[in-house]
Amino acid sequence: MRGISAVALAIAGCSSAAAPPAPRIVESTRIIESTPKVRSCKPEAPVALVAELVPIDARRARLTVQATPTAAVDALELALVLPAEVTLLDGAPALRTGAIGAGESRTLAATLRLDGRAADVAAVARVPVDGVVMARAATVHLGAEPPWLRSHTYALPDGELAREVRP
């Protein structure tokens, strides 16, 4: 009897498709920055964003976003853009302040839970400049990384290099 049970378990073990383990929300603390680029020539919102994501457990993480205007602004709005795969467990999804000076910071903190396999969460800072509401975003990827796209590199006859993908 014991032998039959062992065989049955072995068959069950071989035939059941083991579900892939749910990816962790983030492997380790991750910091994403978005600031006015020194070399950039496009008009940019005069505000710097730093987002820090600290894992709590496999599915939860603490997100802290700091917005720091690089010039005095009349108002600042800081908001999270949360997709359906992410639940806000605590904290506010947005904050608004009045005028603040250059170098002063405002911080938004929230605890997030990843319900799907992967998602992108964005923090967006909006500031008015000369009548135009400009924005800056910092995007944090949660969960499984996108599938790796295999590529192949070589030189063309004129020496130009190419990185070729084959979906």
Partner 1 sequence: MIRASRGCVLHLGRLGRLGPVAALALALTACGDNGPDPDGDHDPADGGASASDAAANACLAEGATAEGTCRDGAVVRCVDGTRVETEDCGAGGACVVAAGGARCLGAEACAGVGPLGRCDGDLLWRCDGAPALTDCAAAGQVCGYIDDTAGYACVAAPAATPLVITGHVRWHDRALSPGMLAPPAAVPARGVMVSVLDSADTTLATVSTADDGSFTIRYAAPATAQVRVTAYSRSRATARPVRVRDASGYLHAQASPPFAAGATATVEILITEATGARAWNALDNMVRGMDVVRAHGVTTLSPLYVYWQAGSSTGSYYQSGDNSLHLDGDDGYDDVVALHEFGHYFQDEYSDSDNPGGAHDGSPADPRLAWGEGGATWIAIAIRGVPYYIDYAAGGGWSVELENRVHAASLTSSMSQNLSEWMVAEVMWDVSDGSADADADAMGPGTAPQVLAVLLGYLGGSHADRGRGGVDLVDWLDGWFLHHGNATCASMRTLLRDRYRFPYDFGGAAGPCP
User: Is residue 44 within the footprint of partner 1 (CB under 8 A)?
Assistant: yes
Secondary structure letter of residue 82 according to DSSP = -
* One character per residue 65-94, x = contact with partner 1 (rule: CB under 8 A): -----xx-------x-x-------------
Structure tokens of 123?
A: 């923090």
CB atoms within 10 A of CB 44: 16
User: Is residue 139 within the footprint of partner 1 (CB under 8 A)?
Assistant: yes
Q: Which of 4, 21, 149, 159 binds partner 1 (CB under 8 A)?
A: 149
Distance CA 63, CA 25 (A): 11
Q: Which of 37, 90, 98, 101 binds partner 1 (CB under 8 A)?
A: 37
Tell me the site size for partner 1, rule CB under 8 A: 45
166 contacts: CB under 8 Å, gap ≥ 6 = 150, 152
Name which of 58 and 135 has its Cβ closer to partner 1: 135
Q: 3-class SS at 12?
A: helix
The rounded Cα 64 to chain-centroid distance in angstroms is 12
User: Is residue 144 within the footprint of partner 1 (CB under 8 A)?
Assistant: no
User: Is residue 150 within the footprint of partner 1 (CB under 8 A)?
Assistant: no
Stretch that binds partner 1, among 1-9, 16-24, 108-116, 122-130 (CB under 8 A): 122-130
38 contacts: CB under 8 Å, gap ≥ 6 = none
Distance CA 114, CA 112 (A): 7
Binding footprint of partner 1 on the chain (CB under 8 A): 34, 36-46, 70-71, 79, 81, 120, 122, 124, 126, 129-137, 139, 146-147, 149, 153-154, 156-157, 160-167
